Amino acid sequence: MKDHHEYKKRKRIIHAPAAKIAGAGILVVACVIAPSVGPTFGPDRIVCAASTPAVSAASPGTNDISVGIPTSTPISIDELPQTEVASNIQYVTGLLVSNQPGGKLPVSLTVARETNDSAWMKDRLTIGPKEAALTADMLRKDGGSVGIFHMPEADKTEVADLYFSMTQRAAQILSTSKQGMDVQALYAQLHLPPSRVSSLKEDLDVQFHTDHGAQRPAGAQSTPLGIETADTSGQVWITLPLENTALSSAQMNRLKVYAQYPDGTAGYVPAAMTTYNQKYAHGMKFALPKSGQYTIILPAASNK
């Protein structure tokens, strides 16, 4: 009886399907190809760089199997192309101070500035958690409620853009102490009062676009400022500089802010006279209703 069982066991092994034997062959080949020690960094690393080997199934009734092994020299990681950094981008710093008189504890923030000779310039300022934490700490020590950032000076270009972003996480940090932020840009000012910062539920993005060669509406007293943003809260404030410094008091009292919107509509927005900076003594401040182009104008005098 024992001999009979041994005979049946040997018979099962002898008549095992060729596919199983072929599978074992693949395992053996793979073991031979694989390195026996840790990863190497010379020509022997061909296994790491090779594409999936081409494997053909064994012919019926045979144990033959062919495995295609790539033999071309792999590309070294050191030889891969490097990402090019644009040569016309530089990182400049501006100072952020408290709205308290004096601004005793300034904080430096970085602006990515991209230029193309005198044709155009693009500034990008992002207020993330790090910038917000520095601002909040400075304001707590200085006793202020609004951080005022002064954009670094630059040579005048035909076109200038400012891309401003405040992340929702940064807004949370500032809102803890009910703090806001102003940006004194090159051709306009952006004001985010504490009430707007604390109500942000997502990132805030605002783009300023200044084209000194753009067509101006009749009676323009400032360079038109294009503003793009998804914010329609009415809690983001803008101040335009009054570039004509030769106006009389009577004329200044008649100034208005004229808005032109992407849908073709236009009209005036409520605005008030305010101080601006050392170059331009006055400006017009208004709550931003939506994206559009905004210009200070002096309407024609009425004959009545």
> Where are the domains positioned within the chain?
2-78, 89-297
Nearest to 282 by CA among 222, 235, 225: 222
At residue 303, does pLDDT exceed 90?
no
- Contact present, 258 and 217 (Cβ < 8 Å): yes
pTM higher than 0.85: no
3-state DSSP assignment of residue 19: helix
> pLDDT, tens digit, for every residue of 40-97?
444 444 344 444 444 444 444 545 544 455 555 554 545 545 555 566 899 999 999 9
> pLDDT, tens digit, for every residue of 244-262?
999 999 999 999 999 999 9
> pLDDT, tens digit, for every residue of 250-294?
999 999 999 999 999 999 999 999 999 999 999 999 999 999 999
- Contact present, 54 and 82 (Cβ < 8 Å): no
Cα distance between residue 184 and residue 182, in whole Å: 6
At residue 35, does pLDDT exceed 60?
no
- Contact present, 33 and 47 (Cβ < 8 Å): yes
